[in-house]
């Protein structure tokens, strides 16, 4: 398990990418990816703001503007089901339902063990294999109930290996 | 006339994408070498002759855009490639970025040479994180082989390409919003004028073109504008990558010469292969969520900017979402509107509130509580959004709805009578909200 990020780790990430205002998105994405809970906490945002010499409000503006960021903790794996029309007309709502049943949560929620968050997303550019779900960088297409069960098992397996 | 061609997609799935050696072997960098022997004005003249219209969706003539920037005396100038492909139903830039990155890079270097610019930025959407890494590899290899970086091919011309990541915001596909995002800010659009050619990235003169537009540049330079134009029609030069999705048998990206018909694109066995599962075509949605919908009666329209425009359709990004008879038009438009609610940046009222009100009216139709007056309200709303929105997002958000009101008025009327011709509404079925 990835532990809580501490301020020296945040500083290392910032140093690694470069202390420039233009790198703000990249820095915040890197922090979010390293957080283990797919989010950027206020404390971390404060460090970024002071290192880049930006007002915190500016960092908050960016964090809340872009859909990929979250200021609330999310699951280790964020499952994003595309609901744009090319996927929707290929029954992405039924796919969402299967994920909901399998994970025991509704879209927008996180499992009790903090492992999975289920969300809708806009088009991820994989309309040729819709309906799709994106988990981290991986996109899974032509989803069916069997495929979804396999996918969830795969991620659960990855989790139990880490424990 | 062949219905598919391999011009800008010729390397896709044929060579190792990041290999400079294989790219050169396939004829790569010939455009750049030729460009170095030409005067910038000559290159721009070829692009004008080629009638290359912006491939991102706005169809702005690339030659005119380049000419405008050439005459601006301030330096440094910046070259920006818009790879924030977020238009639903569009996945053609992904093909070029992942399968032929060096073609895009070559186009950007030629632009750098034309404008005597030393820095190019490519803004790749955050959802394509893996592509950002493979694209970086292609950049590194190009530098190692002397095609990029300092003193390119011994010409003393320096050009560097920097990758910038998006973080999930459709509005950043709008060029001025994209520049704000590169600067590390929230991607809200800027007021224009000033034009981006005058006040662009870091307030300097800037060229912004789409991935596919840049990929076309080396070809135009290499074969000449005249030859390039001849692939398409006399007003729409060259070829277009179209993205087929939805209820079509063979979904995917196809390169077609302008001038083939919509019927060819959807039904030709080499291209779409017809409607999946032997269903009937109901409509097709062109150019992304911000584009208009067309009906089967329009299938014989040639796919080119002018002919499509003459029947109220458009090329847009190249998306062709094919929809069969099982889909309810109200339900579909509700999906489109939900997308715009989610993606509106909130800066201007017509877009932020207009989409939301539109959604509420569509829900009234779906719940069988709409009244005749709602048609007037929708008309007023769409007019306001189209004319008073701050940027292209809001201005085009009602395009699909307007086209559907024209062709599917009966279906709207039926919903007032609590009837859904597609048997989707009023049967207590649960749908994803």
Helix H, strand E, coil C: the string for chain B is CCCCCCCCCCCCCCCCCCCHHHHHHCCCCHHHHHHHCCCHHHHHHHHHHHCCECCCCCCCEHHHHHHHHHCCCCCCCEEEEEECCCCCCCCHHHHHHHHCHHHHHHHHHHHHHHHCCCEEEEEECHHHHHHHHHHHHHHHHHHHCCCCECCHHHCCCCEEEEEEECCCCHHHHCHHHHHHHHCCCCCCCCCCCCCCCCCCHHHCCEEEEEHHHHHHHHHHHHHCHHHHHHHCCCCCCCEEEEEEEECECCCEEEEEEECEEHHHHHHCCCCCCCEHHHCCEEEEEECCCCCCEECHHHCCCECCHHHHHHCCCCCCCCEEEEEECCCCHHHHHHHHHHHHHHHCCCCCHHHHHHHHHHHHHHHHHHHCCCCCHHHHHHHHHHHHHHHHCCCHHHHHCCHHHHHHHHHCHHHHHHHHCCCCCCCCCCCCCCCCC
Decide if A85 and B85 are in contact by the 8 Å CB cutoff: no
Who among B126, B323, B327 is closest to A68 (CB)? B126
Could you tell me which of B223, B210, B269 has the C-alpha nearest to residue B7?
A: B223
Residue A149 has pLDDT above 80, yes or no: yes
Shared domain check, A150 and A114: yes
Residue A160: pLDDT band with limits 50, 70, 90: confident
Decide if A86 and B321 are in contact by the 8 Å CB cutoff: yes
| Tokens describing residue B62 | 């690339």
Give the domain-ending residue among A65, A85, A112: A65
d(CA A136, CA A31): 14
Mean pLDDT for chain A? 94
Decide if B184 and A62 are in contact by the 8 Å CB cutoff: yes
Task: List where CATH 3.40.50.11540 sits in chain B.
Answer: 20-231
Decide if A127 and B343 are in contact by the 8 Å CB cutoff: no
Residue in B185, B281, B340 to test binding to A, most A beta-carbons within 10 Å:
B185
Query: What's the pLDDT tens digit per position in A112-140?
Result: 999 999 999 999 999 999 999 999 999 99
Largest CA distance in chain A: 50
User: Which residues in B lie closer than 8 A to residue A71 (C-beta atoms)?
Assistant: none
User: Which residues in A lie closer than 8 A to residue B169 (C-beta atoms)?
Assistant: 65-67
Residue B139 has pLDDT above 80, yes or no: yes
> What is the percent of chain B with per-residue pLDDT over 90, rounded to a whole number?
98
Minimal C-alpha gap between A143 and chain B (Å): 14
Shared domain check, A51 and A83: no
Mean pLDDT for chain B? 96
* Number of separate domains in chain A: 2
Give the domain-ending residue among A41, A65, A89: A65
Could you tell me which of B235, B331, B321 has the C-alpha nearest to residue B284?
A: B321
User: Is there a contact between B272 and B314 (Cβ–Cβ < 8 Å)?
Assistant: no
DSSP, collapsed to helix, strand or coil, labels residue A121 as strand
Cis peptide bond prior to B349, omega within 30° of 0? no
Query: What's the pLDDT tens digit per position in B55-89?
Result: 999 999 999 999 999 999 999 999 999 999 999 99
d(CA B166, CA B410): 42
User: Which residues in A lie closer than 8 A to residue B345 (C-beta atoms)?
Assistant: 65
> What is the percent of chain B with per-residue pLDDT over 70, rounded to a whole number?
98
Decide if A88 and B285 are in contact by the 8 Å CB cutoff: no
Query: What's the pLDDT tens digit per position in B238-275?
Result: 999 999 999 999 999 999 999 999 999 999 999 999 99
Closest alpha carbon within chain A to B87:
A123
| Tokens describing residue B344 | 């509106």
Decide if B335 and A84 are in contact by the 8 Å CB cutoff: yes
Residue A163: pLDDT band with limits 50, 70, 90: low
Query: What's the pLDDT tens digit per position in A64-88?
Result: 999 999 999 999 999 999 999 999 9
Minimal C-alpha gap between B234 and chain A (Å): 31
User: Which residues in A lie closer than 8 A to residue B323 (C-beta atoms)?
Assistant: 89
Mean pLDDT of all residues in B113-132: 97
Mean pLDDT of all residues in B192-200: 96
Who among A22, A28, A127 is closest to B89 (CB)? A127
Strand partners, B284: B294, B322
User: Which residues in A lie closer than 8 A to residue B165 (C-beta atoms)?
Assistant: 25-26, 29
Who among B164, B245, B430 is closest to A86 (CB)? B245
Closest alpha carbon within chain B to A22:
B184
Q: Name the superfamily (CATH) of residues B20-231.
A: NADH-ubiquinone oxidoreductase 51kDa subunit (3.40.50.11540)
Residue B33 has pLDDT above 80, yes or no: yes
The CATH number that applies at residue A111 is 3.40.30.10
Residue in A93, A128, A130, A138 to test binding to B, most B beta-carbons within 10 Å:
A128
Minimal C-alpha gap between B317 and chain A (Å): 12
Question: How many CA within 13 A on the CB side of residue B281?
Answer: 23
Strand partners, B240: B256
Shared domain check, A92 and A61: no
Task: List where CATH 3.10.20.600 sits in chain B.
Answer: 239-324
Who among B88, B164, B185 is closest to A86 (CB)? B88
User: Is there a contact between B363 and B405 (Cβ–Cβ < 8 Å)?
Assistant: no
CA pseudo-torsion sign A145, A150, A153, A154: negative
Decide if B432 and A107 are in contact by the 8 Å CB cutoff: yes
Q: Is residue A2 part of a domain?
A: no
Look at strands A77-82 and A133-135 and give their pairing: antiparallel
Question: Residue A152 belongs to what domain range?
Answer: 77-162
Decide if A61 and B338 are in contact by the 8 Å CB cutoff: no
Residue in A69, A127, A129, A139 to test binding to B, most B beta-carbons within 10 Å:
A127
pLDDT of residue B119: 98
Q: Which CATH number fits domain B329-416: 2.60.40.420, 3.30.70.60, 1.20.1440.230, 3.40.50.720?
A: 1.20.1440.230
- What is the edge-to-edge ordering of all strands in the sheet holding A133-135? A116-121, A77-82, A133-135, A138-140
Cis peptide bond prior to A131, omega within 30° of 0? yes
Residue B189 has pLDDT above 80, yes or no: yes
Query: What's the pLDDT tens digit per position in A7-65?
Result: 999 999 999 999 999 999 999 999 999 999 999 999 999 999 999 999 999 999 999 99
DSSP, collapsed to helix, strand or coil, labels residue A38 as coil
Give the E-state strand segments of A2-161 in sequence order: 77-82, 116-121, 133-135, 138-140
Shared domain check, A90 and A133: yes
Decide if A89 and B332 are in contact by the 8 Å CB cutoff: yes
Q: Is residue A119 part of a domain?
A: yes
Who among A66, A123, A128 is closest to B169 (CB)? A66
Query: What's the pLDDT tens digit per position in B323-343?
Result: 999 999 999 999 999 999 999
ipTM for this model? 0.95
Who among B125, B335, B342 is closest to A85 (CB)? B335
User: Which residues in B lie closer than 8 A to residue A131 (C-beta atoms)?
Assistant: none
Decide if B184 and A66 are in contact by the 8 Å CB cutoff: no
Q: Is residue A71 part of a domain?
A: no
pLDDT of residue B252: 98
Residue A2 has pLDDT above 50, yes or no: no
pLDDT of residue B249: 98
Decide if B339 and A61 are in contact by the 8 Å CB cutoff: no
User: Which residues in A lie closer than 8 A to residue B125 (C-beta atoms)?
Assistant: 125
- B/e letters for B179-211, b = 16+ CB within 10 Å, e = fewer, are bbbbebbbbbbbeeeeebbbbbbeebbbbbbbb
Q: Is residue A40 part of a domain?
A: yes
Decide if A127 and B125 are in contact by the 8 Å CB cutoff: no
The residue that leads in pLDDT, B305 or A162, is B305
Minimal C-alpha gap between B289 and chain A (Å): 8
Query: What's the pLDDT tens digit per position in B342-370?
Result: 999 999 999 999 999 999 999 999 999 99
Could you tell me which of A61, A24, A25, A56 has the C-alpha nearest to residue A43?
A: A56
pLDDT of residue B432: 43
Residue B431 has pLDDT above 60, yes or no: no
CA distances from B149 to A65, A124, B74, B131, B228 (A): 34, 32, 22, 21, 29
- Tell me the fold of B239-324: Ubiquitin-like (UB roll) (3.10.20)
d(CA B364, CA B357): 11
Backbone dihedral angles phi then psi of residue B329, each to the nearest 5 degrees: -65, -35
Mean pLDDT of all residues in B121-148: 98
Backbone dihedral angles phi then psi of residue A140, each to the nearest 5 degrees: -110, 125
């Amino acid at each position: 398990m990835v532990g809580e990020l501490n301020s020296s780790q945040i500083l290392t990430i910032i140093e690694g990418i470069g202390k420039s205002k233009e790198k703000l998105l990249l820095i915040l994405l890197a922090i979010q990816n390293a957080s283990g809970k797919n989010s950027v906490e206020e404390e971390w945002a404060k460090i970024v703001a002071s290192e880049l010499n930006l007002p915190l409000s500016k960092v908050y503006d960016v964090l809340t503007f872009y859909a990929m960021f979250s200021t609330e903790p999310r699951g280790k794996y964020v499952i994003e089901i595309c609901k744009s029309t090319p996927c929707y007309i290929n029954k992405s709502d039924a796919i969402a339902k299967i994920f909901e049943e399998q994970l025991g949560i509704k879209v927008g929620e996180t499992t009790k063990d903090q492992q999975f968050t289920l969300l809708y997303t806009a088009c991820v550019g994989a309309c040729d294999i819709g309906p799709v779900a994106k988990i981290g960088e991986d996109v899974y297409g032509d989803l069916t109930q069997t495929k979804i069960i396999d996918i969830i098992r795969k991620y659960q397996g990855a989790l139990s290996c880490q424990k | 006339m062949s219905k598919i061609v391999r011009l800008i997609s010729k390397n896709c799935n044929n060579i190792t994408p990041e290999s400079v050696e294989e790219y050169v072997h396939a004829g790569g960098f010939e455009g750049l070498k030729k460009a170095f022997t030409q005067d910038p004005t000559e290159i721009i003249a070829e692009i004008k002759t080629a009638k290359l219209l912006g491939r991102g969706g706005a169809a702005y003539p690339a030659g005119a855009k380049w000419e405008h920037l050439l005459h601006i005396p301030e330096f440094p100038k910046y070259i920006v490639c818009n790879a924030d492909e977020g238009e639903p139903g569009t996945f053609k830039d992904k093909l070029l970025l992942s399968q032929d990155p060096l073609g895009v890079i070559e186009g950007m270097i030629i632009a750098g040479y034309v404008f005597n610019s030393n820095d190019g930025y490519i803004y790749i959407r955050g959802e394509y994180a893996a592509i950002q890494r493979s694209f970086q590899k292609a950049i590194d290899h190009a530098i190692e082989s002397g095609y990029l970086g300092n003193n390119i091919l011994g010409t003393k011309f320096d050009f560097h390409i920097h990758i910038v990541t998006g973080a999930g915001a459709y509005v950043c596909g709008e060029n001025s919003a994209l520049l704000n995002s590169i600067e590390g800010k929230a991607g809200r659009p800027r007021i224009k004028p000033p034009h981006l050619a005058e006040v662009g990235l870091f307030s300097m003169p800037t060229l912004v073109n789409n991935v596919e537009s840049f990929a076309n540049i080396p070809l135009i330079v290499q074969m000449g504008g005249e030859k390039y134009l001849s692939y398409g029609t006399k007003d729409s030069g060259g070829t277009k990558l179209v993205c087929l999705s939805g209820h079509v048998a063979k979904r995917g990206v196809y390169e077609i010469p302008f001038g083939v018909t919509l019927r060819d694109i959807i039904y030709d066995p080499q291209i779409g292969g017809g409607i999946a599962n032997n269903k009937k075509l109901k409509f097709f949605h062109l150019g992304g969520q911000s584009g208009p919908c067309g009906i089967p009666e329009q299938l014989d329209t040639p796919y080119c900017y002018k002919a499509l425009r003459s029947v109220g359709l458009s090329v847009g990004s190249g998306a062709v979402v094919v929809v069969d008879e099982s889909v309810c038009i109200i339900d579909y438009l509700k999906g489109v509107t939900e997308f715009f609610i989610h993606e509106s940046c909130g800066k201007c009222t017509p877009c932020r509130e207009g989409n939301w009100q539109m959604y509420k009216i569509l829900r009234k139709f779906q719940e069988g509580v709409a009244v005749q007056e709602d048609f007037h309200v929708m008309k007023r709303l769409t007019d306001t959004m189209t004319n008073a929105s701050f940027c292209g997002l809001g201005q085009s958000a009602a395009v699909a709805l307007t086209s559907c009101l024209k062709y599917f008025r009966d279906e709207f009327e039926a919903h007032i009578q609590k009837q859904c011709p597609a048997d989707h509404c009023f049967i207590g079925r649960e749908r994803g909200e």
